[in-house]
Amino acid sequence: MTGPGALTREQLADFVAHEARLLDEQRWEEWNALFADDGWYWLPASPAARDPLDEACHLYDDALLRAVRLQRLRSPQAHSQQPPGRCHHLLQPPTLLERDDAAGRFELRTPFLYTELRAGRTTSLPGTARHTLVLVDGALRIRLKRVDLLHADEPLPAVEFYL
């Protein structure tokens, strides 16, 4: 990508689809590399959540916590991953909510259905992902990925993968 003005809606949507595909294919290192150095992954425990530091969260992972979680997923001692689970993201087309070409900042909203297969059981979780994307050295990076599950404030099954 050459500069902020060169990005199209299609390129932004392709980035979101690529991120989901990396998760589905369990290409963890490539997925984690999509985050900016100061990037966060947030899974609030309430659809009305406004501040992850003042409210309960299922996850609020920075680079260190993502690395620890991914290391555990790859470990042969991760009993929940014996046999290894799989996941699939079914995405609706992303909507561009905000665009600041001068700052190289974009916010997208993507409704999805996430399905996880683990130990013969299938779990489906509908929700909406919000990506705050920024340009870093000419490449798109995730500053914040917020995942709002339809029933985030209900008891959830143990979700092994990032959504």
pLDDT above 90: percentage of residues in the chain: 72
Instruction: Give the integer Cα–Cα distance in Å for 150 and 127.
Output: 5
> What per-residue confidence (pLDDT) applies to 141?
98
* Model confidence, pTM: 0.91
pLDDT tens, residue by residue, 74-90 = 766 655 556 677 899 99
Mean pLDDT of the chain: 90
Q: What is the pLDDT of residues 131-150, one digit of tens each?
A: 999 999 999 999 999 999 99
Q: List the domain boundaries for the chain.
A: 4-149
Fold entry, domain 4-149: Nuclear Transport Factor 2; Chain: A, (3.10.450)
